[in-house]
Amino acid sequence: MTFEVTREDVSKEQSTLKDRKKIKEEVNRRLVHGIKEENLEYDSLYSIEKSSINRDSEILSLLFHRMFFYRLNEKLSALHCDHTYRFSRQILTQMQFNRGKINDILEIFKKNGGKCDCGVLYNVESLLIGKDNSHID
């Protein structure tokens, strides 16, 4: 794996990546290694107020920042949900969680309304993003 580190950009802290290739590299870096080097537009979706309400906010926030939901969205835009955790498992494995941890995370998804991959994306990610605090059952 090659890392291309550019230090020329002095306004880095405020700027978000626009280049598709660089975005992809940042996503993979966070997903696989848990290292954040650049800001992504996606980061601004995160709501501390909303996520902090949730009992499982610690692990769910970690998954958000490590681009789990982002990657799940990519998978589900290309392929249909077969109403299992197929893609969630794939991604969590790629994130180097062990089997026990993966099962714990899937339990947390289930508890929060994510009964399959598409449920995780629509019901669980939405607990962490946006400004609206109202909940519709």
Binding site for Zn ion (CB under 5 A): 81, 83, 116, 118
Which residue's CB is nearer to Zn ion, number 83 or number 111?
83
Contact 12, 5 (CB under 8 A): no
Task: Please check whether residue 125 is in contact with residue 117, taking contact to mean a CB–CB distance below 8 angstroms.
Answer: no
Using the minimum distance from each CB to Zn ion, give the nearer residue, 24 or 83: 83
Nearer to Zn ion, 32 or 118 (CB): 118
> Smallest distance, Å, CB 5 to Zn ion?
39
Least separation in angstroms between residue 125's CB and Zn ion is 14
Rama region for 130: left / alpha / beta (φ>0; ψ in -120 to 50; rest): left
Q: How far is the CB of 81 from Zn ion (least distance, A)?
A: 3
70 vs 87, which CB is nearer to Zn ion?
Answer: 87
- The answer to whether the beta carbons of residues 76 and 33 sit under 8 Å apart is no
Shortest CB 119 distance to Zn ion, Å: 6
